[in-house]
Chains A and B, each alone.
Chain A
């Protein structure tokens, strides 16, 4: 299934002819195969915008194209069968079993029952539903299970586009986090074009490839990647919306692998003791790390380094903190804090991959922060 891009062009919606617009000349390019979050305070028109994409709300003016085709050029029922739709209240049919709910669109499309049943089993496995759930009625399921059924039902006919309106808003935080992780894993495999409405900035930062921050009256304030939104908020509204702790939030977005390589106070095991001392001085470190056959083998206390003893003969202490290139900077910071040192060793598939320090994390954030407008220090 090819991923279809969605293009919103000068989209405007007024619910009454002389009232203020709910959505005001909104233009947005949503790349195929990406997750884009529409976020903003209540009354910003994010849900209205979403509902215009599958024409549950008809725009007052402007255009929406999916895969280059104007949505108004297609019969509305047919259009909607190509667009998965997931809502917060799930909206499962209470009089139909879970299996019948999932089969809604395939049935409308006239699939054979064998093909439909095969698809139901496939989807149940995909979204993590026990097979015995399939014959139950929705009211017999937990909130998290219902939402999984909602996602399975939306994906039933393998639509290229998925619209999600606060899909995880009605479940508790633990289930929500798990459903979010599952959605990301699902997207790894399916590459749908997903438009997600949320009011939760952390959800948007976690799930979205790009975030459209919309203000009351349907005005687009900024459309950017999560990192850019945190690093360079376009204006005060964006800055306030993403929160005071945007530096900390960015830690969760960047990975250790994105940092410039830092050798740290680490030398080969056969290096001269003088070299080790020089490196320790350079890094103002009381310890020196030793690498043997490209593997990090441990830390040696600086006080033990003497010119007449080979480094290899000194006692080594295993590294307290280890991270991988895929670890987020936030993980790395936690590891460093918990290890009671100021450095974590990067383990790159078993090989030494440099070190990460609090200084390098701060430098990474500070470096990008410098280009962003900053408020007065408090």
Chain B
């Protein structure tokens, strides 16, 4: 029997047959990505706030998030399984940890990019600190924060495929399945959809960011 005949790059009848499973994997991939980035943002925000407020903590915080980023993902997944089992929690913790470096760095950079004169004027006009942060500094930090979210999301989509080894990982499961059976089609479908998902999410976040910061486009560069 001929391998190239029985095992082409993609077999459309398989794709049609398995469409429910493929869509479920895609859906899980999207869900886990968004959850991981959301958790990452929720943890980054207070860390960045601490670093901005007490500048002596900045190097410790970026150092710690940098250290997390260097941990091998396979090892981290394996390490968490005894604690949380083959669950979403064991998947999301490592992925969220990897987003911290880029998110914390970009939130700090965003807030530091707000001109001092703007903060001074806000204080001088009697804005309370909370109002100043929410209505002046946060919006002006948004372009940098959005960039961070885009990078974090795209890299999470890619990293998530590795979580297939602990039974999670969305599209990664298709890739792993193909690898085990030396069967091209699921691998191709998993890889292509993962790339497509990354591109679509990137474009969507970029668009949302543009809508949220209308003043940026109008300004002469």
Contact = CB atoms under 8 A, between A and B. Distances in A.
Interface of A: 54, 56, 76-81, 83, 85, 87-96, 104-105, 108, 136-137, 139-140, 150, 153-154, 163
B76 interface: no
Contacts of B136: 93, 95
Contact of B126 (A90, A108, A140): A108
B140 A91 contact: no
B140 A94 contact: yes
A216 to B, nearest CB: 23
B117 A90 contact: yes
B127 to A, nearest CB: 7
A133 B121 CA distance: 21
Q: Looking at B117, B122, B215, which has the most chain A CB atoms within 10 Å of its CB?
A: B215
B220 A91 contact: no
Contact of A140 (B121, B124, B127, B218): B218
25 contacts: A56-B123, A56-B124, A76-B126, A77-B126, A77-B127, A80-B124, A85-B121, A85-B124, A90-B117, A90-B121, A92-B118, A92-B121, A93-B121, A94-B118, A94-B140, A104-B127, A105-B125, A105-B126, A108-B127, A136-B218, A137-B215, A140-B218, A150-B121, A153-B125, A163-B124
B219 A85 contact: no
Name the 7 nearest CB pairs between A and B, nearest first: A91-B121, A80-B126, A85-B124, A89-B117, A91-B117, A81-B126, A139-B219
Q: Is the interface of B mostly helix, strand, loop or mixed?
A: helix
A94 B126 contact: no
Contact of A91 (B115, B126, B131, B219): B115
Given A56-B124, A95-B213, A108-B127, A139 B218 contact: yes
A90 B121 CA distance: 8
Interface string B193-221: 00000000000000000000101001110
B178 interface: no
A137 B120 contact: no
**B interface, size bucket:** 20 to 34
Contact of B125 (A81, A88, A90): A81
A343 to B, nearest CB: 52
Q: Looking at A56, A91, A104, A163, which has the most chain B CB atoms within 10 Å of its CB?
A: A91
A93 B122 contact: yes
B2 interface: no
Q: Looking at A83, A108, A136, which has the most chain B CB atoms within 10 Å of its CB?
A: A108
A78 B123 CA distance: 11
Interface of B: 115, 117-128, 131, 136, 139-140, 213, 215, 218-220
Given A77-B128, A89-B115, A91-B115, A139 B215 contact: yes
Given A91-B117, A94-B219, A104 B140 contact: no
A95 B140 contact: yes
Contacts of B131: 108
A139 B218 CA distance: 8
Contacts of B218: 136-137, 139-140
B106 to A, nearest CB: 18
Given A137-B218, A153-B125, 16 more contacts: A80-B125, A80-B126, A85-B124, A87-B124, A88-B117, A89-B115, A92-B118, A93-B122, A94-B140, A94-B215, A94-B219, A105-B125, A108-B131, A137-B219, A139-B215, A139-B218
Q: Looking at B121, B128, B219, which has the most chain A CB atoms within 10 Å of its CB?
A: B121
A218 to B, nearest CB: 20
B118 A91 contact: yes
Contact of B139 (A80, A89, A90, A95): A95
A104 B218 CA distance: 21
Nearest to A97: B215
Contacts of A76: 126
Contacts of A85: 121, 124-125
Nearest to B212: A95
Contacts of A81: 125-126
B80 to A, nearest CB: 41
Nearest to B217: A137
Contact of A78 (B117, B124, B126): B126
